[in-house]
Amino acid sequence: MLVHLSKVKRSQKDHKMTINLKSGEDVNRLGLNERQIKAINYVAKRVSIGNKEYQELNSVSKRTATLDLTDLVGKGVFRKIGKGKREIRYTLLGRKYPKSIQKKGQEG
């Protein structure tokens, strides 16, 4: 396993979460499955992932991909960017991206 989530810290100043990828204990605490861990590794290398990519990466249905990705957003691991069905992407929360990606993906 490449990615281990250790701590999720919330900065008082900017209210953004930071994920440190180190200790395997918090993978269990967060209840991540192998598919989700695989997706985190994928995003760490490629910046973002879409539902279709998640389906292909893990050989799962659209529903399973949607549930897993939504769970990662809810647990503060991923941030959902974009609008509409085909434009939604998921990125690691707390990772800094170029302004063009941030503007495109910001949700009201």
Give the Cβ contact number of residue 77 at 10 Å.
Answer: 25
CA distances from 15 to 9, 25, 53 (A): 9, 24, 30
What residues does 104 pair with on adjacent strands?
none
Residue 8: burial class (beta carbons within 10 Å; 0-12, 13-18, 19+): middle
pTM of the model: 0.69
In tens, the pLDDT along 24-37 reads 556 667 889 999 99
User: Would you state the pLDDT for residue 15?
Assistant: 40
* Contact (CB, 8 A) for 93 and 17: yes
In tens, the pLDDT along 46-100 reads 999 999 999 999 999 999 999 999 999 999 899 999 988 788 999 998 765 554 4
Domains of the chain plus CATH, in order, are 8-94 (1.10.10.10)
